[in-house]
Amino acid sequence: MAKNKSILSEARQIERAVTLIGLGARMQVLERETDLSYERLLRLYKEVSGQSPSKGQLPFSTDWFMTWQPNIHASLFLNIHEYLNKSAALDEGDLIIKAYQLYLEHTTTQALEPLLSITRAWRLVKFLDTGMLTMTRCSGCGGHFVTHPHEIAKHYVCGLCNPPARAGKGKSAGGLTMQ
Ligand SMILES: [Zn+2]
Protein backbone atom coordinates (compact mmCIF):
# COMPACT_ATOMS: atom_id res chain seq x y z
CA MET A 1 0.00 0.00 0.00
CA ALA A 2 2.76 2.38 0.97
CA LYS A 3 4.47 1.56 -2.30
CA ASN A 4 1.37 2.35 -4.35
CA LYS A 5 1.02 5.61 -2.53
CA SER A 6 4.57 6.66 -3.28
CA ILE A 7 4.18 5.81 -6.97
CA LEU A 8 1.02 7.92 -7.14
CA SER A 9 2.71 10.70 -5.28
CA GLU A 10 5.66 10.56 -7.64
CA ALA A 11 3.34 10.59 -10.65
CA ARG A 12 1.73 13.74 -9.28
CA GLN A 13 5.13 15.34 -8.74
CA ILE A 14 6.13 14.59 -12.33
CA GLU A 15 2.81 15.89 -13.63
CA ARG A 16 3.29 19.12 -11.70
CA ALA A 17 6.87 19.51 -12.95
CA VAL A 18 5.77 18.93 -16.57
CA THR A 19 2.98 21.50 -16.21
CA LEU A 20 5.38 24.04 -14.73
CA ILE A 21 7.96 23.43 -17.47
CA GLY A 22 5.24 23.83 -20.10
CA LEU A 23 4.35 27.20 -18.55
CA GLY A 24 8.00 28.24 -18.79
CA ALA A 25 9.02 27.94 -15.13
CA ARG A 26 12.68 28.16 -14.14
CA MET A 27 14.49 25.27 -12.46
CA GLN A 28 14.42 27.01 -9.07
CA VAL A 29 10.61 26.92 -9.14
CA LEU A 30 10.57 23.22 -10.01
CA GLU A 31 13.00 22.45 -7.19
CA ARG A 32 10.87 24.29 -4.66
CA GLU A 33 7.49 22.98 -5.78
CA THR A 34 8.31 19.29 -6.27
CA ASP A 35 10.21 16.62 -4.32
CA LEU A 36 12.04 15.38 -7.42
CA SER A 37 15.83 15.42 -7.49
CA TYR A 38 17.70 18.07 -9.47
CA GLU A 39 18.94 15.42 -11.92
CA ARG A 40 15.45 14.12 -12.63
CA LEU A 41 14.09 17.63 -13.02
CA LEU A 42 16.89 18.47 -15.43
CA ARG A 43 16.09 15.41 -17.54
CA LEU A 44 12.39 16.22 -17.49
CA TYR A 45 13.13 19.80 -18.43
CA LYS A 46 15.16 18.81 -21.48
CA GLU A 47 12.60 16.21 -22.52
CA VAL A 48 9.59 18.52 -22.23
CA SER A 49 11.04 21.79 -23.49
CA GLY A 50 13.67 20.37 -25.86
CA GLN A 51 16.37 22.61 -24.42
CA SER A 52 18.53 23.16 -21.38
CA PRO A 53 17.14 25.40 -18.64
CA SER A 54 18.47 28.95 -18.47
CA LYS A 55 21.03 29.49 -15.76
CA GLY A 56 21.34 32.35 -13.35
CA GLN A 57 19.62 33.72 -10.30
CA LEU A 58 15.96 34.47 -9.97
CA PRO A 59 15.04 38.15 -9.94
CA PHE A 60 15.32 39.09 -6.30
CA SER A 61 14.01 42.65 -6.34
CA THR A 62 10.40 43.73 -5.78
CA ASP A 63 10.94 46.76 -8.08
CA TRP A 64 9.61 45.13 -11.25
CA PHE A 65 6.21 44.60 -9.63
CA MET A 66 6.00 48.30 -8.81
CA THR A 67 6.32 49.53 -12.39
CA TRP A 68 3.11 50.52 -14.10
CA GLN A 69 2.00 47.73 -16.47
CA PRO A 70 3.70 44.88 -14.58
CA ASN A 71 1.91 46.07 -11.43
CA ILE A 72 -1.48 45.75 -13.11
CA HIS A 73 -0.66 42.27 -14.45
CA ALA A 74 0.73 41.17 -11.07
CA SER A 75 -2.38 42.52 -9.34
CA LEU A 76 -4.66 40.69 -11.77
CA PHE A 77 -2.80 37.44 -11.08
CA LEU A 78 -2.97 37.94 -7.31
CA ASN A 79 -6.70 38.70 -7.40
CA ILE A 80 -7.23 35.38 -9.21
CA HIS A 81 -4.89 33.66 -6.74
CA GLU A 82 -6.79 35.05 -3.73
CA TYR A 83 -10.14 34.10 -5.22
CA LEU A 84 -9.00 30.50 -5.81
CA ASN A 85 -7.42 30.36 -2.37
CA LYS A 86 -10.80 31.12 -0.81
CA SER A 87 -12.94 28.98 -3.10
CA ALA A 88 -10.89 25.88 -3.95
CA ALA A 89 -9.04 23.37 -1.78
CA LEU A 90 -5.66 23.39 -3.55
CA ASP A 91 -2.19 23.26 -2.08
CA GLU A 92 0.09 26.21 -2.75
CA GLY A 93 1.87 24.75 -5.77
CA ASP A 94 -1.36 23.81 -7.54
CA LEU A 95 -2.88 27.14 -6.55
CA ILE A 96 -0.10 29.07 -8.31
CA ILE A 97 -0.39 26.87 -11.42
CA LYS A 98 -4.19 27.19 -11.63
CA ALA A 99 -4.13 30.94 -10.96
CA TYR A 100 -1.43 31.40 -13.60
CA GLN A 101 -3.40 29.39 -16.19
CA LEU A 102 -6.45 31.58 -15.52
CA TYR A 103 -4.26 34.70 -15.81
CA LEU A 104 -3.05 33.46 -19.23
CA GLU A 105 -6.65 32.81 -20.33
CA HIS A 106 -7.60 36.31 -19.25
CA THR A 107 -4.78 37.99 -21.18
CA THR A 108 -5.42 35.77 -24.23
CA THR A 109 -9.12 36.66 -24.41
CA GLN A 110 -8.13 40.34 -24.24
CA ALA A 111 -5.40 39.85 -26.87
CA LEU A 112 -2.72 41.08 -24.47
CA GLU A 113 0.84 40.01 -24.05
CA PRO A 114 1.13 38.21 -20.69
CA LEU A 115 3.80 40.38 -19.05
CA LEU A 116 3.95 38.21 -15.94
CA SER A 117 5.96 34.99 -16.33
CA ILE A 118 5.16 31.91 -14.22
CA THR A 119 8.49 32.37 -12.42
CA ARG A 120 7.65 35.98 -11.56
CA ALA A 121 4.14 34.96 -10.49
CA TRP A 122 5.63 32.35 -8.19
CA ARG A 123 8.14 34.89 -6.84
CA LEU A 124 5.31 37.33 -6.25
CA VAL A 125 3.42 34.85 -4.07
CA LYS A 126 6.61 34.28 -2.05
CA PHE A 127 7.07 38.06 -1.65
CA LEU A 128 3.54 38.23 -0.20
CA ASP A 129 4.16 35.23 2.06
CA THR A 130 7.23 36.92 3.53
CA GLY A 131 5.55 40.32 3.82
CA MET A 132 7.86 42.08 1.35
CA LEU A 133 4.82 42.99 -0.74
CA THR A 134 1.14 43.26 0.06
CA MET A 135 -2.21 44.15 -1.50
CA THR A 136 -3.74 47.59 -0.98
CA ARG A 137 -7.22 48.78 -1.94
CA CYS A 138 -7.28 51.66 -4.41
CA SER A 139 -9.09 54.71 -3.04
CA GLY A 140 -10.34 55.45 -6.57
CA CYS A 141 -11.72 52.21 -8.05
CA GLY A 142 -11.73 49.92 -5.00
CA GLY A 143 -9.63 47.25 -6.74
CA HIS A 144 -6.80 45.54 -4.87
CA PHE A 145 -3.27 46.11 -6.14
CA VAL A 146 0.24 44.95 -5.33
CA THR A 147 2.08 47.52 -3.19
CA HIS A 148 4.90 47.72 -0.71
CA PRO A 149 3.75 47.12 2.86
CA HIS A 150 2.62 50.12 4.89
CA GLU A 151 1.07 51.85 1.89
CA ILE A 152 -1.43 54.33 3.31
CA ALA A 153 -4.67 52.92 1.91
CA LYS A 154 -6.57 56.19 2.28
CA HIS A 155 -4.26 57.89 -0.20
CA TYR A 156 -3.40 54.99 -2.48
CA VAL A 157 -4.40 55.38 -6.16
CA CYS A 158 -3.72 52.50 -8.58
CA GLY A 159 -2.12 52.56 -12.02
CA LEU A 160 -5.46 52.15 -13.79
CA CYS A 161 -6.99 55.20 -12.08
CA ASN A 162 -3.80 57.22 -12.43
CA PRO A 163 -1.81 56.01 -15.44
CA PRO A 164 1.53 57.73 -16.15
CA ALA A 165 1.28 60.65 -18.57
CA ARG A 166 3.18 58.79 -21.30
CA ALA A 167 0.48 56.09 -21.38
CA GLY A 168 -2.05 58.32 -23.10
CA LYS A 169 -5.78 58.42 -22.58
CA GLY A 170 -7.89 55.31 -23.04
CA LYS A 171 -4.91 53.01 -23.31
CA SER A 172 -4.73 52.06 -19.67
CA ALA A 173 -2.47 49.02 -19.47
CA GLY A 174 -3.51 47.93 -22.93
CA GLY A 175 -7.13 47.47 -21.97
CA LEU A 176 -6.65 45.37 -18.85
CA THR A 177 -9.42 45.83 -16.34
CA MET A 178 -9.79 44.69 -12.78
CA GLN A 179 -13.03 43.14 -11.61
ZN1 LIG B 1 -7.90 52.36 -8.97
pLDDT digits (tens, 9 = 90+) for 19-37: 999 999 999 999 999 999 9
For residue 156, the CA-to-ligand 1 centroid distance in Å is 8
Determine the Cα–Cα distance for residues 71 and 115; give it in Å rounded to an integer.
10
Using alpha carbons, select from 71, 68, 120 the residue that is nearest to residue 99: 120
**What is the number of residues in the chain?**
179
- 128 and 166: one domain? yes
125 in a domain, yes or no?
yes
Q: pLDDT at position 156, please?
A: 93
- 30 and 113: one domain? no
- Name the stretches of the chain with pLDDT < 70: 1-5, 167-179
For residue 135, the CA-to-ligand 1 centroid distance in Å is 12
- 90 and 14: one domain? no
- 9 and 83: one domain? no
- CB-hemisphere CA count at 13 Å for 84? 20
Can you name the residues that pair with 136 across neighbouring β-strands?
Answer: 145
- 68 and 45: one domain? no
For residue 129, the CA-to-ligand 1 centroid distance in Å is 24
For residue 93, the CA-to-ligand 1 centroid distance in Å is 29
Can you name the residues that pair with 144 across neighbouring β-strands?
Answer: 137
Number of domains in the chain: 2
